[in-house]
Structure 1
């Protein structure tokens, strides 16, 4: 592949990862805020965050695909194919980092440590998920599946 083709592929991967980051961040932040505010155990908070990240990640994909005329079932299949590995990678990385930072999960919503750890975890997850999306797109998978509907 030439340099221009590789650059285009990388730009597509960055765009796909930004899309993934948006859904993951909405779900992740919402889950962490809810779990922390309610005083939930770390495991329950992480599970809620992951569930919401997948929900919002898939929702952001399903909506435009539905507008393209697909049925909900077809749109769900596209979302699952386009986003699952990307969201999974992002969630493993960002939750792993948050759990690894001493005291981050127990810091509370008013704590700089809580918010800084969450922001750093999402940023690192973004960087580590770009190559995953690049690999998927280069093989006609991941977000490449969605391009037929845009």
Structure 2
């Protein structure tokens, strides 16, 4: 790949990240989702900034709750939250695996464990525990299945992309080269796209949150920085999501959930068969 393409990509990424970091504190969004947008922009560059503007940034002050109530924006927030949390773990696993020269299966196992572990335990259960009445254990239980199915499809998309691009780009297996990080960026974006449909199912079945809006008194703190947080490190209160399509829908039964879980594992197994064998 031409060095010019890499230079252009990382230049656009730096500019996009600067915009999001400067602008997002003014958005009355939950703190964990603000950080998720920042993380996503680190890897998706102009695409992350575009989705932030299109999907989360209120066009006029005081319109955030109405603006993000559209189902596709709610699903965007849900998928972005998954991609940011799981993506950090997966990419960390890829870096560690490269330095340790792990086998392909060992590399996958490490990436999956770190991706699911960080995404589920911290980015979902801990950071969003206020939605479970402040109970971390209850939050772990409620977020396990949603995080599992989302992770499976995200990992499948990332795995296929990484295994496709790395042999074709010089130095892409070395975390010390720009090519490696370019591949990680492409992989996370493909994983994001792959995980969007299952997040649509989760959000519209009332199994996972989407975008969130802080209440007015919390929003006033949010202009200070990545704020809107209490002394436990999570947001004080969140806006009303009752206008979101599917928010009041009954949750699916055990058979439907089991079917979706099985489907996502089948997708992941297919990705493993294609890439590792």
Task: Place the TM-score, normalised by the shorter chain, in its bin.
Answer: 0.7 to 0.9
If the length of structure 2 is used for normalisation, what is the TM-score? 0.46
Aligned equivalents of 1:143 and 1:45: distance in 2? 31
CA change 1:106–1:116 in 2 (3 A) is closer
Residue matched to 1:111: 177
Higher relative contact order (CA closer than 8 Å, sequence separation 6+) = 1
Q: After the TM superposition, which residues 74-89 of structure 1 pair with which residues of structure 2 at under 5 Å, given as runs?
A: 74-89=138-153
CA distance in 1 between partners of 2:188 and 2:207 (Å): 23
Please state if 1:127 is matched with 2:189: no
Give 2:161's match in structure 1, choosing from 97, 104, 109: 97
Alignment of 1:1-150 (within 5 A): 8-58=70-120, 59-67=122-130, 69-103=133-167, 107-143=173-209
From the CA coordinates, give the structure whose radius of gyration is larger: 2
1:84-130 C-alpha deviation (Å, 9 max, x unpaired): 21111101110122122352697211233322211101011112212
The one-character-per-residue Cα deviations of 1:11-45 (angstroms, maximum 9, x if unpaired) are 01000011001111210111011111122222211
2:78·2:203 contact (CA, 8 Å) conserved in 1? no
Cα distance in 2, alignment partners of residues 33 and 117 from structure 1: 12
CA contact (8 A) 1:17 1:130 kept: yes
Q: Deviations over 1:54-95 (max 9, x none)?
A: 011112111134345443331111111332211111011101
In the alignment, the residues of structure 1 paired with residue 207 and residue 130 of structure 2 have an alpha-carbon distance, to the nearest angstrom, of: 21
List structure 1 segments (4+ residues) > 6 angstroms apart after TM superposition.
none
Asked if structure 2 preserves the Cα contact closer than 8 Å seen for 1:82 and 1:143, the reply is: no
CA distance in 2, matches of 1:56, 1:78: 16
Q: Which deviates more from structure 2 when the two are superposed, residues 39-48 or residues 64-73? A: 64-73
Q: Determine which structure has the larger helix proportion and give its number.
A: 1
Task: Give unpaired runs (5+ residues) of structure 1.
Answer: none
